[in-house]
Amino acid sequence: MSRLRAQSVLAVKSYAIIEHLQAYFVAGLTQKGKQLKTDFVQFKPVEWLRDQGIHGGGCRMMATDALFNRASVNLSQVFYEDKPEKPLNSATAISTIIHPAHPLSPSMHMHISFTEHKNGKGYWRLMADLNPSNEDNKYKTQFENAIKQTTDDLFEFAQKQGNEYFFIPALKRHRGISHFYLEQHDSGDWTVDSALAIKFGESVIDTYCDIFYQSNFEQRLATLKEQRKQLDYHSLYFLQVLTLDRGTTSGLLAHNQNDVGTLGSIPSTIDTILLKKWIDILPEAQQPLMFGLLSVLDESEHCLIGNKQKQDLVDQLRIFYKSYPQAINFQAKGFVVPPTVQNHNG
């Protein structure tokens, strides 16, 4: 089956923007890879279909080069133009996570999407966060200055919302060192807002590609302590994504047709022994979730997370929220909580 696309004017235009940003990011990372190594970085496409493509789907570009622990640049468009009972007309997004292999090279997450409702309303979501396992403030400054230049007076508000969303209460820390999150942005002028999305996306991509190159070009052999900090951080990332990240959880609860792709942000190796130690500091209502997640993984300081483990994790997450639907209230939130599941399910 082929993957169909939404036909509304704004859905077509937003798809072109997201498709451009995906290609732009893949090209940027590929170029930096060529500069760093004699062999090329190769991104391979993986397609997924929503209702056999009738309601869209997506394509994630995956890199398995030695420079990356995990690298996934995902494009998606889901639409329900033929389903009057659903409030969502279309949702078009790029969602990407890069986990470099080297412990001194920071991870980065970016999400840009346009959501269009049948009532004629629509809005953009812009997110970007820098996530090093071994902190380096020069990269934080570089990352934030680039975003400030493209978002002007929106920066301070979005930074506050990002800091709210990416805080991990149990560990009393944030997921990263710089967080930007602008939710349901609609100035009333779609042309202006779409131009902002392009400028924001290209700026984040250009800046991160430079940081990725600098941190790999200047790199020395990581110490055992720095390698350990990376493993600990990847374990923290696992905890945050599967117990707090509302976008991930909402996507998995909305449908089951891109489970492995939705967990593309999970690092390839985590410490499940460390995660087990963190269970007692989680809210009591979330502890069964972590027990369930760990039950399908090997107990190891270097537990590998492949596609099978991702699917098993998703199954456990759905079992948990079916049994404890009220636990969704423990999910992270900014100043606005988007009704993602309701949009898809009606």
How does residue 42 score in pLDDT terms, banded at 50, 70 and 90?
Answer: confident
Query: How far is the C-alpha of 137 from the C-alpha of 139, rounded, in Å?
Result: 5
pTM exceeding the 0.75 threshold for the entire prediction: yes
Q: What is the mean pLDDT of residues 319-331?
A: 95
Residue 344 has pLDDT above 80, yes or no: no
**pLDDT for 38:** 59
Burial per residue of 105-126, b for 16 or more beta-carbon CB atoms within 10 angstroms, e otherwise: bbbbbbbbbbbbebeeebbbbb
How does residue 341 score in pLDDT terms, banded at 50, 70 and 90?
Answer: low
Cβ neighbors of 16 (< 8 A, separation 6 or more) are: none
Q: What is the mean pLDDT of residues 314-326?
A: 97
- Can you give the C-alpha Rg of the chain in angstroms? 19
Q: What is the mean pLDDT of residues 297-302?
A: 98
Residue 160 has pLDDT above 70, yes or no: yes
pLDDT for 77-87, tens place per residue?
999 999 999 99
**pLDDT for 137:** 86
Scan for tokens 């779609």, then name that residue: 190
Residue 279 has pLDDT above 70, yes or no: yes
Which residues share a beta bridge with 70? 99
Q: What is the mean pLDDT of residues 234-260?
A: 96
- DSSP-assigned letter for residue 261: H
Domain 9-222: give its CATH superfamily. Coproporphyrinogen III oxidase, aerobic (3.40.1500.10)
**Contact yes or no for 61/26 (Cβ under 8 A):** yes
How does residue 346 score in pLDDT terms, banded at 50, 70 and 90?
Answer: low
**pLDDT for 37:** 77
User: Mind spelling out the 3-state secondary structure of 102-115?
Assistant: CCCCCEEEEEEEEE
Which residues share a beta bridge with 98? 71, 108
How does residue 334 score in pLDDT terms, banded at 50, 70 and 90?
Answer: confident
Which residues share a beta bridge with 74? 60, 95
**pLDDT for 76:** 97
**pLDDT for 323:** 96
Cβ neighbors of 224 (< 8 A, separation 6 or more) are: none
Query: How far is the C-alpha of 183 from the C-alpha of 127, rounded, in Å?
Result: 8
Cβ neighbors of 32 (< 8 A, separation 6 or more) are: 41, 209, 212, 213, 216
Residue 235 has pLDDT above 90, yes or no: yes
**Contact yes or no for 146/203 (Cβ under 8 A):** yes
Q: What is the mean pLDDT of residues 296-308?
A: 98
**pLDDT for 343:** 67
Residue 33 has pLDDT above 70, yes or no: yes
Which amino acid makes up residue 310? K
Q: What is the mean pLDDT of residues 16-33?
A: 96
Domain ranges of the chain: 9-222
**pLDDT for 253:** 94
Cβ neighbors of 304 (< 8 A, separation 6 or more) are: 268, 269, 298
The three-class DSSP label of residue 131 is strand
Residue 342 has pLDDT above 70, yes or no: no
Share of the chain above pLDDT 70, in %: 97
**Contact yes or no for 275/235 (Cβ under 8 A):** yes
pLDDT for 47-73, tens place per residue?
999 999 999 999 999 997 889 999 999
**pLDDT for 64:** 72
Share the mean pLDDT of the chain: 94
How far is residue 4 from each of residues 55, 119, 255, 343, measured CA to CA in Å?
7, 22, 17, 19
Helices (H), 126-271: 137-151, 155-165, 190-217, 224-243, 246-254, 259-262
Q: What is the mean pLDDT of residues 14-39?
A: 92
Burial per residue of 292-321, b for 16 or more beta-carbon CB atoms within 10 angstroms, e otherwise: bbbeebeeeeebebeeebbebbbebbeebb
Query: How far is the C-alpha of 212 from the C-alpha of 32, rounded, in Å?
Result: 8
